[in-house]
Structure 1
């Protein structure tokens, strides 16, 4: 009888993994496959969604899993649960926030997806793999420019944060998969599509359309006419002025502990699910099917990080490493 591992594919390519990997290479930030906040979070958080200073992870489903915000007090409803001895960081100066409005009709796509020269979202592809995010009503970008204080605070508290997330919150995160948000891009409405292994006859292409349909209540809504692509969308809020809470991209630090400190906190025994041991060996940048312990290896590898569950090496002089999830050089912070 063949073993279970022989019957399994070497990699399992999820919808979220396919979409995120492809748009990540466009340098706009880390794409979220599920832009909206989780419904089990406090209403105060869901109103605006992801914020600068949020500490969390991104699941293999492309969802931002929020834990707490470093700028809010433990009494704030958003910080319903915080690490032991948590002391918030003093808020940043608004003058250090970079803001940019994103024009309606904006889109982000892989080079394999070509936009037709017309006012609608009509795309052509001659290739079998690609992804696109369409923003009919534009969006907004906010990034913190002064990161020094945040960087120091994260280095001082990283050990406590991992103990809280893996202990109190029971997430069992691997080293290097905790994130501190430094910026975000949000949109009122969006449409995302991704495709892979599409069979296209030679010298032909296929069309991907995100077009408006008339709606008596909201004027226009956009819907995909997408052929073989996997696609989803969100309509604008019915009331103009509703706060943005649909986060299409995040900018963030990844937080890693020195292996020595990690071993003292969580031991050296590695417990893996069946899919971890059989599906994550190839290191080809795909998300293992039900693996939390390997869920970040595919994103870190794109920036030269480890493909072994996100673990990074550091010396005793550098107990904490902070890295940006966007393609800029790694920054190490020394702590006495």
Structure 2
């Protein structure tokens, strides 16, 4: 790979920051802000939601030519150092003697690839970026710099920019369902950490080991990265009128997929000039940690291998320990998609660790299986986020835990299971009336005609024939209905028997009532239920049914899922069953035959930007 790395001095105007009027000697006040190239690249480009941007995308020159033609691959066990460089060791998906594996000295003794092997059908190949692509990453983050005088701190703002140009787009590959790696990693993680430290001399700390499960590879790229750090200096630190000092740095780099070799210590490009798509500009990984007890043993075993000037690698906190409350867990395996999925389009920078954790716990369940801790999407969150249906458009809030909900109910969704909790009914607040909450003026509740549920747009010939046979039996749902599953897309579906739609005929009176009483409702119920005005909703419409089938999937291969209704269901037994045609992470709920009428969809009023609006 032909590459360049050199310092450039961007103009202040290019950074969007005005020049300070007076330059100060700040070396006595605080150490100069650290503006490493990798930090600039990472903070700016990680916001693009493609995983970890790689400092040097080219595969290691010391690896076999077969490996270098491909580049970093799914199954690679790597370390990602503080400079953003990839330290490749071995690949878990190929035999030890494969040219696509590491050098013999980088492969653990007794190594065996994953068994059963990774199914090629479990890999999704696509083009995340087609043709000439320019990724313009920008980050604005605030932090503090410790002063040289104990106890003094200085507020700083770092504006990082990284522009990655990819002339011919990328080829992206991702493992669809990464759960296939968990048992294999748990069986080998301790040996891998001991190997990279004791044999490889790497001083890896707990959490450093990664296994590649996705990549974006291209044939050529170029990158410009700049950073401007403005440090606020209080007036009591200087007699100057200047209150801000600025530090700028910039670097550029480029690379191509032409192979090179080492000749007399000098890199020489392949004279044939063949260009390979082997430049990994982004990698997505599984991140491997062990519990404190295991890490302490690994660190002690490493002591005899240390040189006198070296320190035992400290264990990074087993971060899931305090959050999981699962004392028997030995390993934590998270994936980059866990944090990628909670990034927001308007994030000015990567959230702080506590904010990341808070967002993750809102949408993921913490699970444990075979001593391994991992995250899985909360089905109720997936269902609310991705469900589309053919019922009335006002029914915008799906209930993953159907229950009886009345029109006029005031309540909230439980954080535990997504179930709707009713606090009172606006038409009859009962004991709340005496505490200052008047009832809603009488309104007619309209009941819509009975209709069938959502039907699949793609139905088999069998489904169509069955539909013709049942054409005169409108009260009976089809025996079988099929829903498509698209790879790399979350899925949520609902299917019901006969339904009943109730709603207020007008929204103006409920809106005024809710606006006038929401603060009082929170005053009465907020502390007991740990809710705020943003949690509270007023139900203006409901869709009820006795027979429902709910389905969500966080990841799956291309295919479909079929709901098969039992033509002769028994009382108290599920009225049907979902039949996925491929593997994935599925969750479903099916009601029992002749069960109670329950609410599956609602329309509601809620607070948004200090206004009462219909929920969308």
1:193 paired to 2:228: no
Contact 1:319/1:334, CA 8 A, preserved across alignment: no
Q: Given the alignment, which residue of 127, 137, 142 partners 2:168?
A: 137
1:249 paired to 2:321: no
1:333/1:191 CA distance change after superposition, 3 Å = farther
Residue 182 of structure 2: aligned partner = 151
Please state whether the residue corresponding to 2:48 is helix, strand or coil. Answer: coil
Residue 317 of structure 1: aligned partner = 328
Map of 1:249-288 to 2, 5 A cutoff? Answer: 249-267=282-300
Deviation readout 1:284-332 (Å, 9 max, x if unpaired): xxxxxxx9969xxxxxxxxxxxxx8565353541100011134155765
Distance of 1:152 and 1:243 partners within structure 2: 34
Distance of 1:139 and 1:239 partners within structure 2: 23
Contact 1:24/1:31, CA 8 A, preserved across alignment: yes
Contact 1:256/1:312, CA 8 A, preserved across alignment: no
TM-score under structure 2 length normalisation: 0.38
Contact 2:194/2:302, CA 8 A, preserved across alignment: no
- 1:335 is displaced (CA, Å) by 3.0
**Structure index of larger Rg:** 2
Contact 2:124/2:174, CA 8 A, preserved across alignment: yes
Higher share in strand: 2
Contact 1:258/1:313, CA 8 A, preserved across alignment: no
Contact 1:138/1:187, CA 8 A, preserved across alignment: yes
Q: Given the alignment, which residue of 28, 34, 49 partners 2:50?
A: 28
Residue 68 of structure 1: aligned partner = 90
Distance of 1:75 and 1:14 partners within structure 2: 38
Distance of 1:178 and 1:86 partners within structure 2: 16
1:234 paired to 2:267: no
1:333/1:45 CA distance change after superposition, 3 Å = farther
- 1:334 is displaced (CA, Å) by 3.6
1:151/1:12 CA distance change after superposition, 3 Å = same
1:266/1:198 CA distance change after superposition, 3 Å = closer
Q: Which runs of 5+ in 1 are unaligned?
A: 1-5, 114-126, 200-226, 271-290, 295-307
Distance of 2:301 and 2:34 partners within structure 1: 27
Please state whether the residue corresponding to 1:322 is helix, strand or coil. Answer: strand
Deviation readout 1:195-217 (Å, 9 max, x if unpaired): 11179xxxxxxxxxxxxxxxxxx
Residue 15 of structure 1: aligned partner = 37
Distance of 1:7 and 1:256 partners within structure 2: 39
1:334/1:7 CA distance change after superposition, 3 Å = farther
- 1:135 is displaced (CA, Å) by 0.8
Q: Given the alignment, which residue of 144, 153, 171 partners 2:202?
A: 171
1:256/1:228 CA distance change after superposition, 3 Å = closer
Distance of 2:39 and 2:203 partners within structure 1: 20
Distance of 2:30 and 2:96 partners within structure 1: 46
Contact 2:40/2:160, CA 8 A, preserved across alignment: no
1:93 paired to 2:115: no
Contact 1:106/1:135, CA 8 A, preserved across alignment: yes
1:63/1:20 CA distance change after superposition, 3 Å = same
Distance of 2:201 and 2:179 partners within structure 1: 30
- 1:149 is displaced (CA, Å) by 1.4
Q: CA RMSD in A?
A: 3.3
1:242/1:94 CA distance change after superposition, 3 Å = farther
Contact 1:98/1:145, CA 8 A, preserved across alignment: yes
Please state whether the residue corresponding to 1:143 is helix, strand or coil. Answer: strand
Distance of 1:165 and 1:61 partners within structure 2: 18
Structure number with the bigger relative contact order (C-alpha 8 A, sep ≥ 6) is: 1
Contact 2:43/2:139, CA 8 A, preserved across alignment: no
Residue 131 of structure 2: aligned partner = 104
1:292/1:41 CA distance change after superposition, 3 Å = farther
